[in-house]
Structure 1
Amino acid sequence: MRDLSKLPKAHLHLHFTGSMRVDTLRELAAGYGVRLPAALVDGDPLRLPPTERGWFRFQRLYDAARACVRSEADMRRIVDEAAQDDAAEGSGRLEIQVDPTSYAPFVGGITPAVEIVLDAARAASAAHGIEVAVVVAASRMRHPLDARTLARLAAQYAGSGAGEVVGFGLSNDERRGDTAEFAHAFRIARDAGLASVPHGGELLGPAHVHDVVRDLVPDRLGHGVRAAEDARVLDDLVGRGVALEVCPASNVSLGVYADDAHVPLRTLVDAGAQVALGADDPLLFGSRLVAQYEAARTVHGFDDAALADLARSSVRASRATAATRERLLAGVDAWLAHDPR
């Protein structure tokens, strides 16, 4: 079988804090005298129930990790290591998602926080041979006016290349907030040319997918797997060309599905959906990008031609520059043409 770490691909669903290496988290925590929950450093993927209690535990762990990021140097290190790790797995394009409000108190505000991440993305791109762009994300847990502020800030840095903002997202518990109240923020982002990339359709079902599509007009949908439960909703996504950022390890860890075999990857692909596999939060879910492709191969029975199609889909769903897109797609063809024997 061909080496999946050498399959050129784009990684479109990776959160800033959640991308951290466990060793990096341990080192930062020790430096700040923070005692970490064992679940963050024991090497075992989370297994939580798909309830508000389960999400609460996930959020507490995520917040514990985020509390160890307290300086510009910490932020730059996370971006650099995320790029290095992705490049080692064959990613030629990374669109890393960050909510700058979490780090603003340590660096002088949300504008410096964004500029630090963007500058680190440019440096990491040059250092590791991967094009790293940024998605600025608002949180459902905060007021929709906060989202508008972030959208206006993101718009100032809109672009498609390394160290530029390519999209605007909405994350956190899908059960919180009124989706329609975030529509104004997404209009601001779209008017600036940013991709609309909200989360939806993981913790909640097809009705939530419908609401997100109606109110936020996504180019890509973070997760979206629950659309498989309603053929009409799934057909609508396919017809609109909305790409799905499918993160199997996340779905299993958060209790949406009992195991990898129940993730409806095959259903989505067979319906014609444009799927980009993602790792979401490797720090908590214990699984990086290549592992998602490995699951597609070993659990869902995707042969190398189908895996190449998944990689192509990720590249086409990205906001990569034309040169990067062309290079990665040519690389996928070369990977498939290579005889591994």
Structure 2
Amino acid sequence: MTRPVETLPKAHLHLHFTGSMRPGTLLELADRHGTRLPATLSSQTMVTLSPDERGWFRFQRLYDAARACVRTADDMRRIVLEAAADDAAEGSRWLELQVDPTSYAVHVGGLTPALEIVLQAARDASALTGTTVAVVVAASRVRHPLDARTLARLAARYAGEGAGAVVGFGLSNDERRGDTAEFAGAFDIARAAGLACVPHSGELLGPAHVDATLQALRPDRLGHGVRSGEDPAVLDRLVRGGVALEVCPTSNVSLGVYPDLARVPLRRLVSAGATVALGADDPLLFGPRLAAQYRSAREDHGFDDAGLAALAKASVSASRAPEAVKRELHAAVDDWLALPAEDGTRALAV
């Protein structure tokens, strides 16, 4: 028998705000605001796309349709609370929720109010669910690098520790768009404020893009980074530099990067010494949430319970949780592993 992954304490470092929505919530918001949704968004199933620009265009169209249903501060608060509740049910005790406030600013009076709504909702959700929610502010590659600097300065104003604080700065959207080096100034602002630098890289593009991101942005973690394993030298540089990878297996398969979950090079990355934090990315589109990523590690890659515990500890170590929280969570993972497998259904309090 094996211990259930839902009771394994863990951190969740790669979850996007809109993409975290429950399908039922999206349908309710669409109905409330009179927004017509593509049929694909009517149920929580894995979207199958091609890894080329056509596939990304389809993904972005679906994502934009979902984002267009988020119109009010109450909508935004609901998304944060439900994301925290869903994470809590799957054993996540620390969540770093990624949001670009630009998308919602028009509805709530500007960038600052949009971010403050999310931060207050994160504090409220942390108190209600027991899962601490912090925030990563993310810029988009499809916008001007000066916009990214504006967001980095906003993120820096709210930098801190714990529930409802901004703990990181990211860069999302299609890796093939924009010049990575042009966003270096924004990351310099974030780094000076003590924020984790967590740009996306190494999913749609290969190790050469990872190498360029390492040189230009000096990240602490990479959103995805999974294709760094295609070049041992790049992977070794990541490992030696202590750059963690936020690996999202179901996302990789849905976007056509790998044909199935067994082909995601999770074992190769871990065996090379990389710090890997499993994430769900956008479960609204891709279907499975966080616990499913751990089940895939077990079922598709042969990780035993000790291996799953090591992945959970890696997610905690790579997070921006305070050191005392990290120690508590590491101890809770040890407690989970110490339980007899047949007793693994007992939930662990942290």
Task: Identify the TM-score tier after normalising by the shorter chain.
Answer: over 0.9
Q: Following the alignment from structure 2 to structure 1, what is the Cα–Cα distance between the partners of residues 116 and 46?
A: 32
Q: Following the alignment from structure 2 to structure 1, what is the Cα–Cα distance between the partners of residues 44 and 26?
A: 12
Amino acid at match of 1:326: R
Query: 1:243: how far off?
Result: 0.2
Contact 2:10 2:91 in 1 (8 A): yes
Contact 2:44 2:286 in 1 (8 A): no
Q: Following the alignment from structure 1 to structure 2, what is the Cα–Cα distance between the partners of residues 302 and 336?
A: 13
Q: Which residue in 1 is equivalent to 2:185? A: 184
Q: Deviations over 1:275-333 (max 9, x none)?
A: 00000000000010000000000000000000000000000000001232121111100
Query: What SS does the aligned partner of 2:87 have?
Result: helix
Q: Following the alignment from structure 2 to structure 1, what is the Cα–Cα distance between the partners of residues 135 and 312?
A: 20
Query: 1:42: how far off?
Result: 3.1
Q: Deviations over 1:131-182 (max 9, x none)?
A: 1000000000000000000000000000121000000000000000000000
Amino acid at match of 2:153: R
Q: Following the alignment from structure 2 to structure 1, what is the Cα–Cα distance between the partners of residues 318 and 44?
A: 31
Q: Following the alignment from structure 1 to structure 2, what is the Cα–Cα distance between the partners of residues 328 and 26?
A: 35
Contact 1:92 1:324 in 2 (8 A): no
Q: Which residue in 1 is equivalent to 2:166? A: 165
1:284 has 2:285 as partner: yes
Amino acid at match of 2:335: A
Q: Following the alignment from structure 1 to structure 2, what is the Cα–Cα distance between the partners of residues 323 and 91?
A: 17
Q: Which runs of 5+ in 1 are unaligned?
A: none
Q: Which residue in 2 is equivalent to 1:21? A: 22
Query: 1:340: how far off?
Result: 2.0
Contact 1:83 1:130 in 2 (8 A): yes
Query: What SS does the aligned partner of 1:184 have?
Result: helix
Q: Following the alignment from structure 1 to structure 2, what is the Cα–Cα distance between the partners of residues 44 and 317?
A: 29
Query: What SS does the aligned partner of 1:134 have?
Result: strand
1:135-150 matches, cutoff 5 A: 135-150=136-151
Q: Which residue in 2 is equivalent to 1:125? A: 126
Q: Deviations over 1:9-52 (max 9, x none)?
A: 00000000000000000000000111110111133210001000
Query: What SS does the aligned partner of 1:169 have?
Result: strand
Q: Which residue in 2 is equivalent to 1:269? A: 270
Query: What SS does the aligned partner of 2:12 have?
Result: strand
Query: What SS does the aligned partner of 2:274 have?
Result: coil
Amino acid at match of 2:321: A
Q: Deviations over 1:78-128 (max 9, x none)?
A: 000000000010011000000000000000000000000000000000000
1:326 has 2:327 as partner: yes
Amino acid at match of 1:165: V
Amino acid at match of 1:34: T
Query: What SS does the aligned partner of 1:176 have?
Result: coil
Q: Following the alignment from structure 2 to structure 1, what is the Cα–Cα distance between the partners of residues 77 and 282?
A: 18
Q: Following the alignment from structure 2 to structure 1, what is the Cα–Cα distance between the partners of residues 260 and 36?
A: 31
Contact 2:221 2:243 in 1 (8 A): yes
Query: What SS does the aligned partner of 2:49 have?
Result: coil
Query: What SS does the aligned partner of 1:307 have?
Result: helix
1:115 has 2:123 as partner: no
Contact 1:206 1:227 in 2 (8 A): yes
Q: Which residue in 2 is equivalent to 1:174? A: 175
Q: Which residue in 2 is equivalent to 1:340? A: 341
Query: What SS does the aligned partner of 1:137 have?
Result: strand
1:46 has 2:47 as partner: yes
Amino acid at match of 1:35: R
Query: What SS does the aligned partner of 1:299 have?
Result: helix
Amino acid at match of 1:167: G
Q: Identity rate of aligned residues, in percent?
A: 72
Contact 2:198 2:219 in 1 (8 A): yes
Amino acid at match of 1:227: S
Q: Which residue in 1 is equivalent to 2:71? A: 70
Q: Following the alignment from structure 2 to structure 1, what is the Cα–Cα distance between the partners of residues 328 and 37?
A: 42
Q: Which residue in 2 is equivalent to 1:230? A: 231
How many residues align structurally? 341
Amino acid at match of 1:201: G
1:239 has 2:240 as partner: yes
Amino acid at match of 2:85: Q
Q: Following the alignment from structure 1 to structure 2, what is the Cα–Cα distance between the partners of residues 98 and 70?
A: 15
Q: Which residue in 2 is equivalent to 1:60? A: 61
Question: TM-score, length-normalised on structure 2?
Answer: 0.97
Bigger CA drift: 30-39 or 238-247?
Answer: 30-39
Q: Following the alignment from structure 1 to structure 2, what is the Cα–Cα distance between the partners of residues 96 and 24?
A: 18
Contact 1:104 1:110 in 2 (8 A): yes
Q: Which residue in 2 is equivalent to 1:205? A: 206
Q: Following the alignment from structure 1 to structure 2, what is the Cα–Cα distance between the partners of residues 160 and 203?
A: 32
Query: What SS does the aligned partner of 1:103 have?
Result: helix
Q: Following the alignment from structure 1 to structure 2, what is the Cα–Cα distance between the partners of residues 26 and 280?
A: 20
Q: Following superposition, which runs of at least 4 residues in structure 1 exceed 3 angstroms of deviation?
A: none
Query: What SS does the aligned partner of 1:272 have?
Result: coil
Contact 2:10 2:93 in 1 (8 A): yes
Q: Which runs of 5+ in 2 are unaligned?
A: 343-350
Q: Which residue in 2 is equivalent to 1:99? A: 100
Amino acid at match of 1:264: P
